[in-house]
Amino acid sequence: MNAAKRREIFRRLQAANPAPATELEFASPFELLVAVILSAQATDVSVNKATRRLYPAANTPAAILALGEEGLKPYIRHIGLFNSKAKNVIATCALLIERHGSQVPAERKALEALPGVGRKTANVILNTAFGEPTMAVDTHIFRLANRIRLAPGKTVRAVEDKLLKTTPPEYLRDAHHWLILHGRYVCTARNPKCRECVISDLCEYPGRKKILQQP
């Protein structure tokens, strides 16, 4: 895919959604951090359901730490892997208090040192909470980048690096939101909605024409 086509893809995605945002609900960097930790292998809908109950009761490192693992679990029990996530959230709260004055750090190394925080989670925090031009490649972005040939790669990191290198700078801050939402609702894993796609004519997916020809 050439640079002109990439630029036009992002221009259209921006025109369709000028102010893209995460679908996770949060009111502070800490609330976002907890929500993203909980979101691993879970839907944003299920996480929001949990945090709508949790945050009115506890939405600071000290308050959640005071709950303890057993006190936290009832709020997140319907989310997959809730036992390990409760452990990670409590440990993260303790480290935030101990090392960062109860504030979420804005540096990758410090973020990735927190339990339950890997590169993708750090990218989400750096971008969404602090405005850094990072690329949080999830399953939707990985599939879409390979399918339409926007940034093909065999690994998540390869796709991330290619997107960072090839995305026009003026679109980079919001790019991962556009791509996640497009992959989640339009360029879906099964039965992609090519007829509804604003970038269909720019797509290099070999199966696109067959889908468009369906009655």
Burial of 110 (0-12, 13-18, 19+ CB in 10 A): middle
Choose the catalytic residue: 120, 162, 201, 209: 120
The verdict on whether 201 is a catalytic residue reads no
Contact 125, 33 (CB under 8 A): yes
What is the Cα–Cα distance from 95 to 76, expressed in whole angstroms?
Answer: 21
Which tens digits make up the pLDDT trace of 143-165? Answer: 999 999 999 999 999 999 999 99
CATH architecture of 3-20+135-213: Orthogonal Bundle (1.10)
Task: Please tell me the class of the 29-128 domain.
Answer: mainly alpha
- Provide the pLDDT for residue 206: 81
| pTM as predicted | 0.88
Task: Note down pLDDT in tens along the chain; length 215 residues.
Answer: 899 999 999 999 999 999 999 999 999 999 999 999 999 889 999 999 999 999 999 999 999 999 999 999 999 999 989 999 999 999 999 999 999 999 999 999 999 999 999 999 999 999 999 999 999 999 999 999 999 999 999 999 999 999 999 999 999 999 999 999 999 999 999 889 988 999 999 998 887 666 766 66
The verdict on whether 138 is a catalytic residue reads yes
Q: What angle do CA 187, 191, 197 make, to 5 degrees?
A: 40
Contact 47, 35 (CB under 8 A): yes
Choose the catalytic residue: 138, 162, 165, 210: 138
Could you tell me the residue ranges of all domains in the chain? 3-20+135-213, 29-128
